[in-house]
């Protein structure tokens, strides 16, 4: 689900708030996908490995979200 909508003309760039909200949405969607994927696998004897894998995936998604937020230029209006 994207925060950006089609209610504005296509030639108008999204606002800083809209871009930040979209980045947060992508991050939360990615976290939900990680949870869904690992819950679907079920519990087994590889719990330590799964915990490390989940932690790595979350760290990766967090790094991507931080990078996207840092790319959002701050423009005073």
Q: Which two tokens stand for residue 8?
A: 């504005």
Q: What is the pLDDT of residues 23-56, one digit of tens each?
A: 999 999 999 999 888 888 776 656 667 788 889 9
Would you say residue 77 has pLDDT above 60? no
The DSSP element (H or E) to which 12 belongs, if any, is: none
* pLDDT bracket for residue 75 (50, 70, 90): low
Q: Record the pTM.
A: 0.65
Mean model confidence pLDDT for the chain: 79
């Amino acid at each position: 689900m994207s925060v950006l909508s089609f209610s504005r003309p296509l030639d108008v760039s999204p606002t800083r708030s809209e871009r930040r909200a979209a980045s947060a949405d992508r991050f939360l969607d990615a976290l939900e996908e990680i949870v869904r994927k690992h819950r679907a696998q079920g519990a087994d004897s590889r719990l330590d490995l799964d915990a490390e894998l989940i932690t790595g995936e979350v760290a990766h998604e967090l790094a991507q979200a931080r990078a996207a937020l840092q790319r959002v230029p701050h423009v005073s209006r």
